[in-house]
Amino acid sequence: MDGFAKEKLLNMTRKNPSMEVNTIYEGDNLEILSRFPTDSVDLIYLDPPFFSNKHYEVIWQDGAELRAFQDRWQGGVEHYISWMEPRLRECHRVLKKEGSIYLHCDWHADAHLRILMDKIFDENNFRNEIVWHYKKWSAGWQQFQRNHDIILFYSKTDSKKRIFNKMFMERAESTLIRFGHAKIISGYDKKTGKRIPAQMSKEESKGVPMDDVWEIGRVPPIKQMFPTQKPEPLLERIIKASSNEGDIVLDPFCGCGTTLVASHRFKRRWIGIDVSPTACKLMAKRLRENFGISPKIIKGRVDLKYVKGLNPFEFQNWVIVDKFLGNVSKTKSGDMGIDGFTPQITGGFPIQVKQSEGVGRNVVDNFETAMRRMKKNKGYIVAFSFGKGAFEEVARVKNQEGIHIVLRTVEDLIEGRVEVETPKGIS
């Protein structure tokens, strides 16, 4: 789809805008954002891929599913920025005139994103480059440790109605020793012009105005629900500063839902978007466990383009978890090509997932071998398309060996043609 066609599609969508608060949206955030009305949200926090060229992999805490993704961009930083730009433009459109946006990034692309944000939001609406400083184990590099992220803070306009609630932090130890918690009324020496912090009122001080270097610890790996999870105190600070009770907070790259939890805790309305079905389920679970609520999950448009855009691990989860309602294999090696299984109530049949076209006879042969070792007489192979040899081999295996291998295309799954059979005697 060329640029003109994309813009035409977005314009068609905008003719009938819709947006539900306290809701999780599953799908491509560009497509979902295009549905939202203009000037509709008060605060946006984005924690997109960082252009880190890293591979992330964790096992969900319940051990049921593999969560992995790659933050890799074959076209380099130019490809990354071209991917980010239309999403940031949609964020600008849906943000209210009095609203603010916080873009979380790190050294990999912060300079490029700063230029892009200046272009979209206007350099005059730049507010802060916030440094989030944290501790981590030394890597022994021949350079200074990289122990910080960058958060770019912009407003949509320079309106005096812009929401910003002044935040305070504890005064320095030396100041506390000298003045205690009393509010200091500064005076000035008429001759030198120097500040004289010697006058105190009876009112207790709130502290000193918060600066743009934030010392907040990271989520320990052992407690992470998500490989790039951000700490709740970080989001709390942003939400308190740039929104009020009842305001709408939007997170288009919501991950495990920390933004939603912090927003709900401080009586904001919220909207989370993520392309991962697994992540959306985790958000819902986290909100249910924290607040006893069961948020609606609205699925975005699922077509071949959307599925082809999924990374291999999310593609696997989409097939096995979302479409077959099964479980991803916990085995990282020696799994004989088995990626997951249908639910036990349907027999726990093996599933192999191929994110490719024209899958042939050799894949069927290898899958048959794996099924024999597992003593399974039925299994599923999913791919975008299959070659003639695959269908011929499936027919031969069924007629001669009594092993039933079902071939399903991605289009079959999109259209709901999964048809997982329950073994006889099981209801």
Using DSSP's 3-state secondary structure scheme, residue 257 falls into: coil
* All CATH 3.40.1340 domain ranges in the chain, comma separated: 308-414
Q: What is the CATH number of domain 3-158+215-301?
A: 3.40.50.150
Single-letter amino acid, residue 240: K
Q: Which residues contact 249 (CB under 8 A, 6 or more apart)?
A: 41, 42, 43, 44, 45, 239, 243, 259, 263, 268, 269, 270, 271
Sequence letter at residue 115 = I
Least confident piece of the model among 127-141, 192-206, 251-265, 277-291 = 192-206
Segment holding 144, helix H or strand E? none
Tens of pLDDT, residue by residue over 313-322, are 888 888 998 8
Neighbour-count burial of 350, counting CB atoms closer than 10 A to its CB (0-12 exposed, 13-18 middle, 19+ buried): buried
**Count of helix runs (H) and strand runs (E) in the chain:** 13, 20
Number of neighbouring beta carbons within 10 Å of residue 131: 15
- How does DSSP assign 161-183, residue by residue? T------EEPPPHHHHHHHTTEE
- What type of residue is 13? T
Residue 55: the pLDDT is: 45
Helix (H, G, I), strand (E, B) or coil at 295: coil
Distance of CA 353 to the CA centre of its chain: 23
Taking Cα atoms as reference points, which of 160, 83, 93 lies closest to residue 120?
93
- Structure-token match 């306009």, residue found: 157
Cα(28)–Cα(275) distance, integer angstroms: 5
- From 384, 376, 387, 388, select the one nearest 351 (Cα to Cα): 376
Answer whether 276's CB lies under 8 Å from 314's CB. yes
Q: What is the pLDDT of residue 197?
A: 62
199-234 pLDDT per residue, tens: 566 666 677 789 999 999 999 877 887 778 999 999
User: Can you name the CATH fold of 308-414?
Assistant: 3.40.1340
Structure-derived torsion over alpha carbons of residues 332, 333, 334, 337, reported in degrees to the nearest 10: 70
For residue 270, the SS3 value is strand
For 332, the enclosing helix (H) or strand (E) is: none
How far is the C-alpha of 41 from the C-alpha of 402, rounded, in Å? 58
pLDDT band at 76 (very low <50, low <70, confident <90, very high): confident
Which ranges in the chain are annotated with CATH 3.40.50.150? 3-158+215-301
Helix (H) or strand (E) holding 290: helix 277-291
pLDDT of residue 74: 64
Cβ atoms 341, 326 nearer than 8 A? yes
Per-residue pLDDT of 26-67, as tens digits, reads: 989 999 999 999 999 999 999 998 875 554 444 444 443 444
More confident residue, 229 or 271: 271
